Amino acid sequence: MQGNKLTIAGIEILPGQSRRLEIPVANLYTDTDIFIPIHVVRAKKPGPTLFVSAAVHGDELNGIEIIRRLINSKYLNLKMGSLILVPMVNVYGVLNQSRYMPDRRDLNRCFPGSEKGSLAARVASIFLEEVVQHCDYGIDLHTGAIHRSNLPQVRANLSDPETSALAEAFGVPVLLNANLRDGSLRQAAVEWETKILLYEAGQALRFDEISIRAGVRGVINVLNELGLLKRKIKRKKTIPFVANNSTWIRASASGFVNTLKELGDQVSKGDVLADIGTPFGDSLAKVTANKSGIIIGKQNIPLVQEGDAMFHIAYFSENEENIASTIEQMQEALEESAELSSPDIDPALIR
């Protein structure tokens, strides 16, 4: 965004260089230095700049592993442009295995932040100033919250043609045309004219191998789509399914849960998704789908309070059977590729 000059944390990264940097943020009360780690890769030839960020929520660990594998991948060889990889934005949350900042704020509701605001506001401001302002594009990596899993999916402003093309190139079966949330990194990035995708997959505090592999493949696909890679990768294009609406199905009683449907399952209106019962085995309530769709998120813990969100269902205008089949094919392909569990990427999967 600023020509061919790139300066982060007071250090200029020249074309053709790769650097690991640390952006200083507020120290812990033990006077321990805290930094946001950054890995920058620049080609000699100018071109677009893209950031990939993880752990805006400190307990969402899949993205950290995705970025680790990207950094160590032999395919990450740029012919033009720049790539800024940020494995941990909320370092405080990672240290505490917590979604939140030490001030109990959700960092992803504190953008664009303020230099003189709360700790979360200061970190948000620093990240925008040091990273996002340099970037034409961004990919923000997330998982479900604690005890919740998300099917690999991309959320973005699909009404923008370029953003929609990048979301499709990412290569997951489900795209969600999601509104911007106040205070989110995605909203702030868009206001800075940075086109951004949000990748959701897996659950908090756990590595999910399928989600990690899909994320590594997706970032490489986007780099390829933007023309940043030296090695042009042939990708078998699959048309993803776009959901313009989704909702959480909530518990109508408190008790123990017997789950009957899983992530990626196709459901029809009226299908029983789970049974809620007493400790003695008596049934209290059936949790049912209110529309036909695909389960893209679910609660994992087998205990619920009345009103808890249990199943996240996306609704499509297309045939749900085709969507379910595409999801199954993606999962099978990723499960069969053991090579993606190592830092290098199996070229057969980049399609």
Is residue 68 situated within a structural domain? yes
- Token couple for 28: 């812990």
Residues 162 and 177 in one domain: yes
Residues 267 and 166 in one domain: no
- Compute the distance between CA of residue 44 and CA of residue 257 in angstroms, rounded to an integer: 56
Domain count for the chain, please give it: 2
Residue with tokens 């980049």, as numbered in its chain: 350
Task: Answer yes or no: is pLDDT of 346 > 70.
Answer: no
Give pLDDT, residue 66: 98
* CATH classification at residue 265: 2.40.50.100
Give pLDDT, residue 343: 43
Residues 280 and 139 in one domain: no
Residues 82 and 18 in one domain: yes
Q: Let me know the angle formed at the C-alpha of 187 by 6 and 148, rounded to the nearest 5 degrees.
A: 110
All residues at 6 or more sequence positions from 321 whose CB lies less than 8 Å from its CB, including other chains: 266
Is residue 338 situated within a structural domain? no
Considering only the C-alpha atoms of the chain, give the largest distance between any 2 of them, rounded to a whole number of Å.
Answer: 68
Is residue 220 situated within a structural domain? yes
What SS3 state is found at 149? strand
Residues 230 and 264 in one domain: no
Per residue in 134-144, pLDDT (tens digit) is 999 999 999 99
**Which is nearest to 110 in space by CA: 99, 101, 121, 119?**
121
- Token couple for 53: 């960020």
Is residue 153 situated within a structural domain? yes
DSSP state of 132: G
Pairing outcome for strands 283-288 and 266-267:
unpaired
Range of the domain at 169: 7-241
* CATH classification at residue 135: 3.40.630.10
Per residue in 292-335, pLDDT (tens digit) is 999 999 999 999 999 999 999 999 876 666 776 777 777 777 77
- Cβ–Cβ contacts within 10 Å for residue 313, how many? 24
Residue with tokens 């890679």, as numbered in its chain: 229
Is residue 97 situated within a structural domain? yes
Residues 168 and 261 in one domain: no
Residues 190 and 133 in one domain: yes
In Å, how far from its chain's centre is CA 301? 22
Residues 42 and 63 in one domain: yes
- Compute the distance between CA of residue 35 and CA of residue 256 in angstroms, rounded to an integer: 43
Residues 182 and 199 in one domain: yes
Q: Are 261 and 273 in contact (CB under 8 A)?
A: yes
Which residues face 299 on adjacent strands? Answer: 148
- Compute the distance between CA of residue 173 and CA of residue 178 in angstroms, rounded to an integer: 16
Give pLDDT, residue 325: 73
Q: Let me know the angle formed at the C-alpha of 154 by 148 and 160, rounded to the nearest 5 degrees.
A: 145
Is residue 51 situated within a structural domain? yes
Is residue 279 situated within a structural domain? yes
Residues 156 and 190 in one domain: yes
Per residue in 154-176, pLDDT (tens digit) is 999 999 999 999 999 999 999 99
Give pLDDT, residue 190: 95
Pairing outcome for strands 245-250 and 309-315:
antiparallel
Mean pLDDT on 274-289: 97
Task: Answer yes or no: is pLDDT of 123 > 80.
Answer: yes
Residues 229 and 303 in one domain: no
In Å, how far from its chain's centre is CA 226? 19
Give pLDDT, residue 348: 39
Residue with tokens 């950054």, as numbered in its chain: 38
Is residue 129 situated within a structural domain? yes
Give pLDDT, residue 114: 97
- Out of 213, 241, 269, a domain closes at 241
Residues 26 and 174 in one domain: yes
